[in-house]
Structure 1
Amino acid sequence: MNAEFLIPAVIFFAIYHIVKLISTHLLKRKLIKAEQYDRVGILEEPKSESDESNRYPSLKWGLVALMTGLGFVVIDVLRLFDKEWIDGRNAVLPIGILLVFISLGFLIYFFIMNGRKVKN
């Protein structure tokens, strides 16, 4: 990836999270000083324990890792046929192939989880 794009993206990402953290802290502190204890919980991000989609995180990330590996294998096999067709530096095709395989991993996980919901 081009460093001219990556470095500013990382810097803006870090600045965003730092500003969000500080503003949330200041807002919570104001609410506590105003004795609005019941409203402090509004700022907490909801954590649903019964959410079926996050019940098997290792399955999700295992499938995504497997499909990512398969994507890299497909890219490497296509490189054997024609080096000019898939050049890792100049072509968008390897990125497209990799993204398709990663999204297939997420879709497989989605269909597995929907199949579990129907059976239960």
Structure 2
Amino acid sequence: MNQVLMAAVIFFAIYQIIKNFTDFLLKRKVIKAGHFENAGILEQKVASITTENQEANKYPSLKWGLVAFFAGIGFIIINQMGPSLYNEDNYRNFMENSMLPFGIELVSISLGFIVYFLIVTFMKKK
């Protein structure tokens, strides 16, 4: 598990470094071309994206409440499902070596986000 987490952190860091470097190159290219008035174009793009995200994220406590609720449901399912599938001797092996608990937890958290999305979409239509 630690190896997967470490790999994810490393890939995310590489992505962020490449993204920052390419943004820098793009800004430098715009400035060298003599378009000083357009040098802030990237910041405007980022600002418009953040306003869209703020509009969609009107109910942050609802979102995280639903995600926590569905994460809890996932943990309950994992806890109840383990002993029923395996005998007590293999239960520890199931929890340590199987990817099924992680899959159940990720699916339940995803369901929380989907329910939040459906609620927000329904509220927008009103």
Q: TM-score band, normalised by the shorter chain?
A: 0.7 to 0.9
Question: What does residue 118 of structure 2 align with?
Answer: 111
Candidates 64, 67, 74, aligned match of 2:67: 64
Number of residue equivalences:
118
Q: Match for residue 7 of structure 1? A: 6
Q: Distance in 1 between matches of 2:22 and 2:63?
A: 33
Aligned equivalents of 1:97 and 1:27: distance in 2? 42
2:103 is matched with which residue?
96
Larger fraction in helix: 2
RMSD over aligned CA atoms reads 2.6
Deviation at 1:107, TM superposition (A): 1.6
Unaligned runs of 5+ in 2: none
Q: Which residue does 2:18 correspond to in 1?
A: 19
Question: Under a length normalisation based on structure 1, what TM-score does the superposition of the two structures give?
Answer: 0.75
* Greater alpha carbon shift after TM alignment, 60-69 vs 10-19: 10-19
CA distance in 2, matches of 1:50, 1:18: 25
Identity over the aligned pairs, expressed in percent? Answer: 49
Q: Cα deviations across residues 25-79 of structure 1 (Å, max 9, x unaligned)?
A: 2331342344313433432323353554222223212211221122112211223
Unmatched 5+ stretches in structure 1:
none
Task: Determine whether 1:78 maps to 2:81.
Answer: yes
| C-alpha distance 16-35 of structure 1, shift in aligned 2 (>3 A) | same
TM-score by length of 2: 0.72
- Does residue 35 (structure 1) correspond to residue 65 (structure 2)? The answer is no
